[in-house]
Amino acid sequence: MEGKVVKYWVACSGGVDSVVLTYLLFLSNMKFGILHCNFHLREEDSNVDEQFVRDLAKELNVPIQVRQFNTKSHGIKRGLNTQLAARELRYNWFDEIINDGGIVFVAHHFDDQLETFFLQLRRGGSVRALAAMPTFRNGYLRPLLKYTKAELIELAYKNNWKWREDKSNESDNYTRNWYRHEVLPFLKRNTFPLEEVVPLVENFQSLLTFLKTLDIPNEINIFDWLQMPIWLKQHILSEHELGEFPAYEIDRLANTFKGKFIGNNKSQVWNEGTTLIFSKVKEEKPVKSLDIQKTPNKNIAFQRDLMFLDAEKIKGELSFRKWLPGDYFQPIGMKGMKTVAKFLRDRKVESSKKKDIYVLTDETERIIGIFRFGVAEFVKVREDTKTVLKVKLE
C-alpha cells in the first residue's frame, strides 16, 4: 500500500532499532505507516535496504512512503558533510509529514540518549543541548528512550525479527560512532555511573521547560547580562537564533565600545552603551526612487517620511544614498555644521538602526536632509519661499 493517508508514521531504516519499533507498533494494533529514506550512499546496499523495508511493509500490510535523495549533491550545495546532509534531508521530509498533521515515531533509545548528551557536552553544553532528546516534541515521538540497544537486539532475536546492518555504523570516522565504540565502553569498564545520565537529561528537560515560560527580552541592561548565570545567557541567545555564539563572546561585546555588534544572517546583538539590543535582520527592501512634487507653500507640517524644501536653494538634481562616516549636515536652527554621526547620536538613534538611515543630496554632494529627521537649515521653507518641493523616498 503506497501513500495511504494515516496519522502515525514510523521512520524505518531497516536497522534493528527501527525494525523493533515497527513490530511493536504493529503488535499494539496501531494504525500506522512506514517512512523510508534512500540516501544512495552505500551503492547497492542502499537499494537492498529499501527493498527490505518495502517487504516489511508488505508483510505487515501497512502503507509505506519512500523518498529518494541525492545526499552528496545536497551536501555540496549546502556546505554540509554527508551525515549532516542526510540528517537535514530526512528531517525536512519528516517535518512535511508533521505539518500535514502526522506524528512521526523515531527509534532513538537509551544508548542514543547517552551519546547525544556527551556529544553536546563536548560542544559546550547549553541547557537546550544537554536536554538532548525528549520523548515527544514538535510532532516527533520517541517511545524507546528507556530501553538499551542490547535490550532491543535481544527482543529482535527472541521474536526472530530480521533486520539490516548499516556498515557505516561500524566506522569511527563519525564522532558519534567514536563515542559509541570507544568512549562509552571505556566509561562502562571504569564504572562510570552512566545510569545517572538519563535522569540528569530529564532534569535539563525540566529546566528547559521552565525557561520556555520566561519572556525573552529584546533589550538587556549590560550590568544585568554580566550577572546572569551562563545557562540563562545561552537560552536567551538560542531563542534569538544566536545559539552558535558562546555566552563569553557576548560578554566581550558587553565590555567593548558602543556600536559594536555580533550576529548572523538572522539576528544581531548590539552594544548600545548601557544595554544590549537584540534585533532581527530584516530583508532589505530595495529603494526605487525619489518622488518629487511641487506643493503650495502653506499648511506644511513635518512628517517622518517627507521632506519639504526651498527649490531655489537646491543645485541640480536631487539624489539619495545611505549616510557615511564623515558626512556633515547643518540641522535646522544651527549656524554651524554637525556630523551626521553626532546628529544621530544626539537623537539617541540605536546603533543597530543607524545603518538604515538615508540622506538627500544635490549635485554638489551637500546633504540637503536626513530622511525621517528633516531638512538642512539652508533649504528649509520660509514665508517668502516661492517654490516648495515635497520629497519622499519610495
Q: What DSSP assignment string belongs to 74-136? A: HHHHHT--HHHHHHHHHHHHHHHHHHTT-EEE----HHHHHHHHHHHHHTT--HHHHT---SE
CATH numbers and ranges of domains, the chain: 8-208 (3.40.50.620), 216-280 (3.30.465.60), 290-393 (3.50.40.10)
Residue 286 confidence (pLDDT): 65
Contact present, 312 and 302 (Cβ < 8 Å): no
Contact present, 228 and 216 (Cβ < 8 Å): no
Sequence-distant (≥ 6) Cβ neighbours of residue 16 within 8 angstroms? 149, 152, 153, 156, 163
Sequence-distant (≥ 6) Cβ neighbours of residue 340 within 8 angstroms? 323, 324, 327, 328, 329, 357, 359, 367, 370
Residue 5 confidence (pLDDT): 66
Question: Please, what is the average pLDDT of the chain?
Answer: 86
Whether the predicted model's global pTM rises above the 0.85 cut: no
Residue 323 confidence (pLDDT): 86
Residue 70 confidence (pLDDT): 93
End-to-end Cα separation, the chain, in angstroms: 56
Residue 152 confidence (pLDDT): 96
Ranges of residues in the chain with a pLDDT under 70 are 1-5, 167-174, 284-288, 299, 301-303
Closest to 64 in 3D by CA, of 33, 93, 91, 23: 33
Sequence-distant (≥ 6) Cβ neighbours of residue 38 within 8 angstroms? 46, 47, 49, 50, 66, 67, 68, 69
Residue 174 confidence (pLDDT): 66
Residue 95 confidence (pLDDT): 95
Contact present, 76 and 108 (Cβ < 8 Å): no
The position carrying cell 565502553 is 185
Residue 3 confidence (pLDDT): 44
